[in-house]
Amino acid sequence: MYQTIVYEELENSIARISLNRPESRNAQDTTLLYELNDAFDRAVKSDDIAVIILAALGPHFSSGHDLREPDLMGKLGEFRTVGTWAQFSAGGAEGWMAREQELYRGFSERWRNISKPTIAAVQGKCIAGGLMLVWPCDLIVAADDAQFLDNTVAMGMCGVEWFAHPWELGPRKAKELLFTAEGISAVEAHRLGMVNHVVDVAELQTFTLDLARKIASKPRFALKLTKESVNAAQDAMGRVSAMQTAFALHQLGHSHNMQVHGLPIDPSGAGKIVQAKKPE
């Protein structure tokens, strides 16, 4: 069914969705994001599934948005959109903002509110847009070789479109991550509370599966209500309005770069990042 992901229904009511573009370090193009969203919907709607694992094939979890994807706006016409924004082909900021509202902020928020527990299993690099896949998950298990970074400031932007940095890292570490574009190790992420467990890379999948089994054994309605309660507590702290502000500032960054550079991002930093994302 899928070109860019692998969907498996495992024992004990567990579904595992694996990113499957290892040749590009699982860079996220439009097809991958819609297939991932479809797979999440499939697992949520299945009465047989209690817990969802998000994993990735290859040595790295994700290099972020696919900056080499051609015809970004036209590609959206191939899919049935799930959000309420449209006019993706509109000129100026309107079309670009609509696309990012659908694919980036919209999908990440949607996945964060999935009614079933989700666990991300992360190995290798998890760069920028990769954070927008793991942060919406309820739990994160990291391999000891995992590294998390957001280098969007180097591209003239103020962070990825789903701005969870202060909630995941605390404000001071969030600023350091963004200002320096340097990565956070799995151990550091665990110390900060962003990651639940750090395990040997060889044990990542088995450990995550064991954790999923423990959760799947609990009453499903209680799990759903508990997730709703914790998410509501976080939202009461102002998460939603803060993210809306950050998303608007993000769009201002794109507009500024278009006026100054003729591109939605600053090419002086983008070239280095594209080079860094080349497969090993």
pLDDT in tens, 41-60: 999 999 999 999 999 999 99
In the chain, where the domains are located = 5-276
pLDDT band of 197, cuts 50, 70, 90: very high
- Please give the structure tokens belonging to residue 86: 């449209």
Q: What is the DSSP string of 87-128?
A: -TT-SHHHHHHHHHIIIIIIHHHHHHT-SS-EEEEE-SEEEG
pLDDT band of 111, cuts 50, 70, 90: very high
228-272: pLDDT as tens digits: 999 999 999 999 999 999 999 999 999 999 999 999 999 987 555
| Contact criterion met (CB below 8 Å) for 110 and 37 | yes
Question: Residue 273 has what pLDDT?
Answer: 46
Question: Residue 102 has what pLDDT?
Answer: 95
Rg over CA atoms, the chain: 18
Nearest alpha-carbon partner for 113 in 24, 22, 32, 228:
228
Task: Classify domain 5-276 by CATH number.
Answer: 3.90.226.10
Q: Report the amino acid identity of residue 53.
A: I
